[in-house]
């Protein structure tokens, strides 16, 4: 029986290896350089100076973002291999321990104080997406609602599940500047008169609703920023 001539497989090599799929920037981790254009550069925990620089870099971001950053930096230092191997109190880890003290002070003292100082807990609760989506067309078509509020409403309604406003920048090329959580608070702090953020009863019905039960303009401005004094009575919304 004649032998069948065997054929050997020829190896092929790509000039360029197959590249992994690009990561969705929306899924980029807060503390990696997956999306360096939206990541604050220069944060660190190697010594006291790096820790203080980190606090300065994040001071314009929302309190929730600041907490995420500081808590992460503290735990990175705490669990750093150098810290695990070093004898407690050794000079080799003194700088990193100094950084940890700066972060611990912020977590134990600064953070609770700033959180307590937020009006209405940062104007919480944030209206649900379901409520916001119900009013989105009115918000976008209203002359009483400014462009930035309309943009916020749209950003919030389209926010992926699990994504926080504190991790979404107002300006994508300015990572050390405002995020939407911080900007929302600033806007509501200016729109809501002092002393009227906690109790729905201090608001007149005419301030919230028109005679035909449609949303009053002032009320719609608040809804656009994800807050309403009528929220405590869900029947209104």
9-13, 49-53, 54-58, 155-159: lowest mean pLDDT where? 9-13
CA atoms of 190 and 200, how far apart (whole Å): 18
Whether 153 and 214 share a structural domain:
yes
pLDDT tens-digit readout, 171-208: 999 999 999 999 999 999 999 999 999 888 899 999 99
Whether 136 and 223 share a structural domain:
yes
Contact 203, 67 (CB under 8 A): no
Mean pLDDT over residues 102-111, rounded? 99
pTM over 0.75: yes
Query: Which residue range forms the structural domain that includes residue 54?
Result: 41-117
Sign of CA dihedral 32, 33, 38, 41: positive
The reply to whether 2 falls in a domain is no
Whether 143 and 205 share a structural domain:
yes
The reply to whether 106 falls in a domain is yes
Whether 106 and 146 share a structural domain:
no
Q: Which of residues 106 and 7 earns the better pLDDT score?
A: 106
The reply to whether 178 falls in a domain is yes
The reply to whether 228 falls in a domain is yes
The reply to whether 197 falls in a domain is yes
What pLDDT does 19 receive? 45
pLDDT tens-digit readout, 34-74: 455 678 999 999 999 999 999 999 999 999 999 999 999 99
The reply to whether 60 falls in a domain is yes
What pLDDT does 116 receive? 96
What pLDDT does 6 receive? 46
Q: Which of residues 132 and 21 earns the better pLDDT score?
A: 132
Whether 65 and 45 share a structural domain:
yes
Whether 141 and 214 share a structural domain:
yes
What pLDDT does 230 receive? 85
Report the phi/psi class of residue 198: left, alpha or beta, with left for phi > 0 and alpha for psi in -120 to 50.
alpha
Whether 173 and 223 share a structural domain:
yes
- Position of tokens 């999306």? 35
The reply to whether 20 falls in a domain is no
Whether 65 and 138 share a structural domain:
no
Q: Which of residues 31 and 138 earns the better pLDDT score?
A: 138
**Which of 117, 143, 163 is where one domain is finished?**
117
For the chain, the domain total comes to: 2
The DSSP code sequence of the chain is -PPPPP-PPPP---SSPPPPPPPPGGG--TTSSSSGGGS--S---SSHHHHHHHHHHTTTS-HHHHHHHHHHHHHHHHT-HHHHHSPTT-GGGHHHHHHHHHHHHIIIIIHHHHHHHSTHHHH-SPPPHHHHHHHHHHHHH-SSS-HHHHHHHHHHHTPPTT--GGGSBSSTT-TTS-BHHHHHHHHHHHHSPTT-SS-GGGS-HHHHB-TTSPBPHHHHHHHHTT--GGGGSTTT-
pLDDT at 7 > cutoff 90: no
Whether 153 and 227 share a structural domain:
yes
Whether 108 and 137 share a structural domain:
no
Mean pLDDT over residues 77-101, rounded? 84
**What's the pLDDT band for 30 if we cut at 50, 70, 90?**
very low
């Amino acid at each position: 029986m004649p032998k069948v001539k065997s054929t050997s497989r020829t190896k092929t090599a790509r000039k360029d290896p197959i590249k992994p799929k690009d990561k969705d920037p929306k899924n980029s981790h807060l503390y990696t350089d997956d999306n360096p254009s939206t990541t604050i550069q220069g944060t660190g925990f190697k010594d006291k100076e790096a820790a203080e620089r980190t606090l300065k870099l994040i001071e314009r971001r929302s309190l929730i973002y600041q907490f995420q950053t500081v808590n992460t930096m503290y735990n990175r230092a705490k669990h750093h291999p150098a810290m695990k191997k070093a004898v407690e109190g050794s000079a080799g880890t003194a700088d990193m321990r100094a950084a940890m003290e700066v972060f611990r002070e912020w977590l134990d003292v600064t953070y609770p104080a700033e959180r307590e100082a937020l009006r209405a807990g940062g104007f919480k609760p944030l209206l649900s997406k379901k409520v916001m989506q119900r009013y989105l067309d009115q918000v976008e078509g209203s002359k009483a609602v400014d462009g930035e509020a309309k943009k916020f409403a749209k950003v919030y309604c389209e926010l992926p599940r699990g994504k926080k406003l504190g991790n979404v920048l107002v300006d994508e090329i300015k990572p050390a500047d405002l995020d939407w959580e911080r900007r929302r608070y600033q806007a509501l702090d200016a729109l809501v008169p002092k002393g009227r953020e906690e109790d729905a009863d201090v608001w007149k019905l005419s301030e919230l609703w028109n005679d035909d039960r449609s949303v009053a303009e002032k009320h719609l401005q608040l809804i656009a920023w994800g807050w309403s004094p009528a929220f405590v009575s869900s029947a209104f919304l």
